[in-house]
Amino acid sequence: MVNLPDSDLFNRCIEVALKEKWHLLISKREATGTDSLLTHSLNVMSVAETLMKILGDFDEVETFEVLSGCFIHDSGKEDTEVQQILSGENSGSFKHKGDITRKAQLLEAIGVDNSLHETILAIDTIMERPENSSHKIDIACSQVPEEKVWRVVQLADQIVSQKSLDTIELKKGTLFAETLQRLGVNLSYHKVSMIRGITTQLLHNGVMMAYQNHGWTPALYYPDGTVYISRESTTIPERGEILECVKDTVEHYIESIPACELGASAFSGDIRISILNSPEFLFRDDDCVEAFWERIISQKAIRGASFPSEKQKVDDWTKALATKADEEQAVIELRYKKVRAVTRLAIVMKEIASYCEEKRPEAWGFFIKELQERLQVKEGIDKVLRRVANTSPTEQLVEVYNGLTLPTMLCDKDVDFLIRATVIHFKEITKKLREFMNGSIQIDFQKIAEQLLNDLERPLVDDLHVRSLETNRRYQNGKTKGSVCCVLCSSVPTTTATKPMIGEGVESFINLMKGGIRINGDHKAWICPLCEFEAKIRLVFVPDNKETILVLPQLNISESIKKKWSKGLTNLIDGMEALGLKPLRDRYWIDIIISAKIDADEKQIFTDIIQNNASKEAIIRTVSKWLENRYTSIDDMKPFLANDATALKDFEDAALHIVEEKLYLPREVKLEMEKDVKKSAGLHCSYVSPNYILITSAFPIAQMDESETSAIIRKVFIGLLLSRLFLASVVYPDIALGMYYHTGPTKGYLRVPKKLGLVNIYKNLGISDWIKVGQIDDMLLKLALYLKVDDLLLATGSSFGKDNLLNLFKKQPGEVLNRYLQVNREINPALYTYLVQANSI
Amino acid sequence: MVRPFIYLQEEEKKTSVEDIQKLQSEVITELSEYLKTFEPETRALSKSSIMGPVGKLISSAASGRFENKDAIVGFVVSLHNNQSASKASPTCIANLRNAIEKLDELHKITPRRYWLRILREIDYAVFVNGYGQAAQKLATNQNARSA
């Protein structure tokens, strides 16, 4: 009778591998891309598990033997000489087989019963091709287990060892093909040509669904595709089936987004620049219309427009708004606020009506009729409304204001009431317009799915010649203005880009086009429908796409690492967001790194972060800000509290009491607060398909007033942190909404963002393109220590200015200490310790 | 007289970076050791106070006053005696002489264009060690007080 351990074998293997520092060892030759020994071993385990499920007929003991065999199969690579060969430091070949005593030790560490050691070691010996005569003798002497048992380990290792999907093609006569044949397993895969972000994740999921419908099981995920295995099926889904699955996936995804978020995202950015980004989202249902207008009135430009300061404008407005000769300035300013609020709301309403008119010409007449019925406006207001814009002359704005408010005497009310009353009418008109349009403004899922299929390289591929001709169609048809193809992905462009969408200024200069090209008038940067859709979806979750991070598998990932990713996202990132903490803020992580707690369980790390003083202050600040927005004064808030709170001084005091759980908000208020607070973190981690995680943030990683070069150092830290948390590779795409072309396997933990000012620093740190597998822990600790010093210097007013972080790398520790001493005239032992420790790494 | 057709010119021996780095770290250790024996009469929290006579030694080395080593030793000892609470002990002078000799050696093997950079590195490295000692003393005092 064999005793099998109760707890999860995968978790134990991760623990042991981290303890043995397998995450710092490479498993493949580094020059052509590698993953760590930890991820490789776990992936082999997972794929073997999937294979066993497909093949069936494996009892509990056999399953355990196979998984344990997978875990130790490459432990011979722990050897320093082997590592040197793999990293390219030394040349030559190496033996896969390691020391048997060491393997037995590892088996013991993961809790394998002694009675199973012999079989597991035999599996390990026999699964590799004989490397030399002693290996052959070992094989001959082993107590050979059943063929299916060791073949599963062999096949799992061969599948996981494929560095990219391009190399996975089966060639007759190879060991890979032979193993597949012996086990009676079929293999297939799908591949995409570029990684867009959320839309590509939806494409991955759609294709995966189509494969699953044909009896295939996903076994291994690459950033650009998925490997499937099957015992019976050999048929690959047809274009029509894939199209249907992709369409369903996209549709379900959009339907799963709450109406309030989807509707609100129809507007994004600054109301003075752009108004309606995603009309399809606004016209989805009435809830979306409500959410859209709520987002509009939360704009500062509407609630509190500031009176102009230029003399000419002051004169214009005074002349237009004063009712008597020496009218008080305060009265004029109040009237100005009202005019601005109403006219800006009217401009939004007009934009919606104009958009509807483009689709159905009668829509404008319908809108004016509704407006007249509700606000009793005068005949002829439509002519003024059609012309009105944010930059319209003062008289025109006043005319619109009077036209809308005078008939119902709304102008006599205060600003807040006026805004609310106007918006109630506009909401109803928008709803009526939605009914009037009768579903003609909505997302065309079929078209999106069709375009997404163009990104597929396998199992379908389009004729590239036809596609390039399509792309150039506008140019061939005598195009004179706008970019020839989509500035982001080079596909057929259909719409002009706006700043909230692509994150770049599009008025006069854009980084995405050739130097010297002037963008003005009708000459704009154009983007394709897919890039537009991607931008719109991202705007649903984050109001501004300031930072984009891709967390990619090192080579590939399997179910076990996928679980770790999900755990990290749910327990750590989501948890922090729920408290209003910004997970990409470095200060929450520095102490975790310095005290070497990064390997702890995600929940433990989360508790540690919350106990951190900086985090607590941030949570109190966020809650206090929320309370301030919700209630006009502290006295206004007190009656709504669930328990007695008469002694509260201000909102900050109230926030402190709430965070320390001495004061309880009513349940519905608390839920509302949690939702808002989570949103205020401004982060969205999209993990729709297992292939990669897309992180978008509304806030930059850089600190305020920090130079771009210092900000990149901070980005390197956050990138390394994410790669360490998820045991994955991290890439910062060059452009926030830009494509990522996964041209080959990753070559380490982080692809460092480049900047001219950092060339020497990277050189001194021994970093080239990637932070290599073996470098991560040292580099992370070094950066954490420097960031700690940076914080200390900033807190004591002895920083080197906006380039502080950069200077810490450039200057000698003595110079930093001297700077601190000059300003503070005191010895700081902590500063000394951090600096010396950072320099010794 | 027939002038020789082929000249034999001895190739100048190049100094390796490793040699310079090794000697540099030896100088830093020696100077830091010396600094341990220096206790200023009045302690101020500044770099020059922490560096004591070593600061002057480095600036004189930078200005090229390395013709007579004894003179330099005498100059630093005189500074030491003026600034320190106690006079320079024979061990302290021996440490100092040792450091100055090594510094002189370093001067000889270092290309002229790198000399000031090397000295700057020595200056700040000795300062870091001095700062460390001061931090250690502070911690000891605080511990004693709390005990």
Question: Locate tokens 């008597």: which residue?
Answer: A324
Does residue A146 register a pLDDT over 80?
no
Would the CB atoms of B131 and A821 count as touching at under 8 Å?
yes
**pLDDT grade, residue A503 (50/70/90)?**
low
* Distance, CA of A69 to CA of A103 (rounded, Å): 10
Tell me the ipTM for this assembly: 0.84
The predicted structure's pLDDT at residue A723: 93
Would the CB atoms of B46 and A825 count as touching at under 8 Å?
yes
| More confident site: A642 or A277 | A277
* Range in A61-70, A402-411, A770-779 the model is least confident about: A402-411
| Residue in A815, A821, A835 closest to B45 by CB | A821
Which chain B residues are within 8 Å of A829, Cβ to Cβ?
135-136, 138-139
Q: Which residues contact A569 (CB under 8 A, 6 or more apart)?
A: A685, A687, A693
Would the CB atoms of A828 and B135 count as touching at under 8 Å?
yes
Would the CB atoms of A812 and B46 count as touching at under 8 Å?
no
Which chain A residues are within 8 Å of B127, Cβ to Cβ?
814, 817-818
SS3 track for chain B: CCCCCCCCCCCCCCCCHHHHHHHHHHHHHHHHHHHHCCCECCCCCCHHHHHCHHHHHHHHHHCCCCCCHHHHHHHHHHHHHHHECCCCCHHHHHHHHHHHHHHHHHHHHCCHHHHHHHHHHHHHHHHHHHHHHHHHHHHHHHHHHHC
Closest-CA distance of chain B to residue A832, Å: 7
Here the tokens at position A62 are 């056999």
Q: What is the DSSP string of A262-327?
A: HHHTTS-S-TTT---S-HHHHTS-HHHHHHHHHHHHT-HHHHSPPPP-SHHHHHHHHHHH-SSTT-
The predicted structure's pLDDT at residue A174: 80
**Under an 8 Å CB criterion, which residues of B touch A?**
45-47, 50, 120-121, 123-128, 131-132, 134-136, 138-139
Q: Are A584 and A718 in contact (CB under 8 A)?
A: yes
Of the candidates A351, A373, A374, A375, the one whose C-alpha atom is nearest the C-alpha of residue A363 is A351
Nearest 5 degrees, angle CA A636-CA A639-CA A645?
100
pTM of the predicted model, to two decimals? 0.86
Mutate to test the interface with B, among A789, A796, A812, A816 (most CBs of B within 10 A): A812
| Residue in A826, A827, A836 closest to B128 by CB | A836
The predicted structure's pLDDT at residue A414: 78
Angle between helical axes of A394-405 and A329-359 (0-180°, round to 10): 80
Closest-CA distance of chain A to residue B11, Å: 32
CB pairs under 8 A between A and B: 49
Which chain B residues are within 8 Å of A835, Cβ to Cβ?
128
Peptide bond into A459 cis (omega under 30): yes
**Mean pLDDT calculated for residue range A583-587:** 88
Would the CB atoms of A822 and B134 count as touching at under 8 Å?
no
Closest-CA distance of chain B to residue A797, Å: 17
Of the candidates A454, A438, A521, the one whose C-alpha atom is nearest the C-alpha of residue A486 is A454
* Range in A14-18, A263-267, A323-327, A574-578 the model is least confident about: A323-327
**pLDDT grade, residue A387 (50/70/90)?**
confident
Q: Are A127 and A69 in contact (CB under 8 A)?
A: yes
Which chain A residues are within 8 Å of B141, Cβ to Cβ?
none
B-facing residues of A in 755-814 (CB < 8 A) are 812-814
Q: How high is the mean pLDDT of chain A? A: 84
**Residue A630 CB-density burial (10 A; 0-12 exposed, 13-18 middle, 19+ buried):** middle
Does residue A201 register a pLDDT over 90?
yes
Closest-CA distance of chain A to residue B73, Å: 25
Does residue A2 register a pLDDT over 70?
no
Which chain A residues are within 8 Å of B125, Cβ to Cβ?
812, 814
* Distance, CA of A665 to CA of A722 (rounded, Å): 35
Query: pLDDT tens digit string along A275-327?
Result: 677 888 888 888 889 888 888 887 777 777 778 888 887 888 887 777 777 77
| Residue in B121, B127, B136 closest to A817 by CB | B127
Tell me whether strands A693-697 and A547-552 are parallel, antiparallel or unpaired: antiparallel
Would the CB atoms of B124 and A827 count as touching at under 8 Å?
no
The predicted structure's pLDDT at residue A646: 61
Which chain B residues are within 8 Å of A764, Cβ to Cβ?
none
**Mean pLDDT calculated for residue range B80-105:** 84
| More confident site: A128 or A426 | A426
The predicted structure's pLDDT at residue A506: 57
Q: Is A837 on the interface with B (CB under 8 A)?
A: no
Does residue A815 register a pLDDT over 80?
yes
The predicted structure's pLDDT at residue A767: 87
Nearest chain B Cα to A820, which residue? Answer: B46
- At residue A457, what are phi and psi to the nearest 5 degrees? -105, -30
Closest-CA distance of chain B to residue A837, Å: 12
**Residue A228 CB-density burial (10 A; 0-12 exposed, 13-18 middle, 19+ buried):** buried
The torsion of the CA quartet B57, B58, B59, B62, rounded to 10 degrees, works out to: 120
Q: Is A840 on the interface with B (CB under 8 A)?
A: no
**Residue A13 CB-density burial (10 A; 0-12 exposed, 13-18 middle, 19+ buried):** buried
* Range in A135-144, A306-315, A533-542, A827-836 the model is least confident about: A135-144
Query: pLDDT tens digit string along B48-62?
Result: 888 888 888 888 888
Nearest 5 degrees, angle CA A145-CA A147-CA A153?
90
Which chain A residues are within 8 Å of B136, Cβ to Cβ?
829
Would the CB atoms of A825 and B45 count as touching at under 8 Å?
yes
Would the CB atoms of A826 and B125 count as touching at under 8 Å?
no
**Residue A797 CB-density burial (10 A; 0-12 exposed, 13-18 middle, 19+ buried):** exposed
Closest-CA distance of chain B to residue A820, Å: 10
Would the CB atoms of A828 and B121 count as touching at under 8 Å?
no
* Distance, CA of A43 to CA of A564 (rounded, Å): 12
Which chain B residues are within 8 Å of A832, Cβ to Cβ?
128, 131-132, 135
Closest-CA distance of chain A to residue B124, Å: 4
Cα distances (angstroms) measured from residue A464 to each of A5, A195, A200, A251: 54, 18, 19, 28
Does residue A194 register a pLDDT over 70?
yes
Here the tokens at position B2 are 């027939």
Provide long-range contacts, Cβ within 8 A and 24+ apart, for B7-15. Answer: B15/B109, B15/B110, B15/B111
Amino acid letter at A110?
I
The percentage of residues in chain A with a pLDDT greater than 90, rounded to a whole number, is 19
Closest-CA distance of chain B to residue A823, Å: 10
Query: pLDDT tens digit string along A708-757?
Result: 899 999 999 999 999 999 999 999 988 778 778 887 888 889 999 988 88
* Range in A141-145, B61-65, B109-113, B115-119 the model is least confident about: A141-145
